[in-house]
Amino acid sequence: MGRSEAGPAILETDPPPATRAAPGRERVLAAALRLFSREGYDATPVHRIAADAEVAAGLVYYHFGDKAGLLRAIFEETLGQVEASLEAAEVAACDSPREGLDRLVRTAFATVARNQDFWRLGYQLRMQSGVKDALPGAIPLWAETIRKRVEGLLRGAGHPDPEPASRALFAAIDGAAQHFVLDPDHYPLDPVATSLVDHFTPRTQSRRTR
């Protein structure tokens, strides 16, 4: 991944992924994500996931209850990675509001860069109509939980209109991440991160930290 000389690099350190119970559970999650994304959630039976993960079908039911529970676990894994980025940003914001926004953007991008396959497949998965039916209301609720924490960071930074700005920043981070996983060798994450931080940092904060 290329780096811009004009701005600070994307963070090399990345929050660890959410703790999982066992290697078998991890294999099931990875297999489900692959198959749901490639063949569709509705068209993928549990026994097909078990075969791909090389585990007994009973292990899938033991860990996740049913196919919807497995789908929920995939999205909870995504949410755990996003929450780790938010926690890093909230800690950094205690020292400097601009540093908090900078840490949010760069840690989020670093997470996607380190887990490209997971996020590429996850983006494909969440657009399927069957996914929304299997988790009614859950995905918008998770998204709103994240957005409110982004709003808190912007409010702490003194942004004059943090609610709509949080929606714009959340969408910008998400959109940039999608563009990156489509073309990771050429998408300029570093300068995009710098541009986002500059744009969403209130001008008084920006002048104070430069």
- List pLDDT tens digits, range 16-36: 343 344 688 999 999 999 999
What is the pLDDT at residue 17? 42
Which distant-in-sequence residues (6+ apart) come within 8 Å of 160 by Cβ? 202
Q: What is the dihedral of CA 147, 148, 153, 156, to 10 degrees?
A: 150
What is the pLDDT at residue 22? 62
Q: Is the pLDDT of residue 8 over 90?
A: no
Going by pLDDT thresholds of 50, 70 and 90, the confidence category of residue 135 is confident
Among 8-17, 100-109, 120-129, 176-185, name the one with the lowest average pLDDT: 8-17
What is the pLDDT at residue 21? 45
Report the alpha-carbon distance of residue 28 to residue 50 in Å, rounded.
7
pLDDT in tens, 29-77: 999 999 998 899 999 999 999 999 999 999 999 999 999 999 999 988 8
Report the alpha-carbon distance of residue 63 to residue 199 in Å, rounded.
44
pLDDT in tens, 161-202: 999 999 999 999 999 999 999 999 999 999 999 999 999 998
Q: Is the pLDDT of residue 12 over 70?
A: no
Among residues 137, 18, 147, the alpha carbon closest in space to that of 73 is found at 18
Domains defined for the chain, CATH in brackets: 74-208 (1.10.357)
What is the pLDDT at residue 19? 37
Q: Which amino acid does the sequence have at 181?
A: V
What is the pTM assigned to this prediction? Answer: 0.78
Residue 9 CB: number of other CB atoms within 10 A? Answer: 15
Q: Is the pLDDT of residue 11 over 90?
A: no
Which distant-in-sequence residues (6+ apart) come within 8 Å of 72 by Cβ? 64, 135, 138
Q: Is the dihedral of CA 174, 199, 152, 167 positive or negative?
A: negative
Cβ(99)–Cβ(117) under 8 Å? no
Q: Is the pLDDT of residue 127 over 60?
A: yes
What is the pLDDT at residue 45? 95
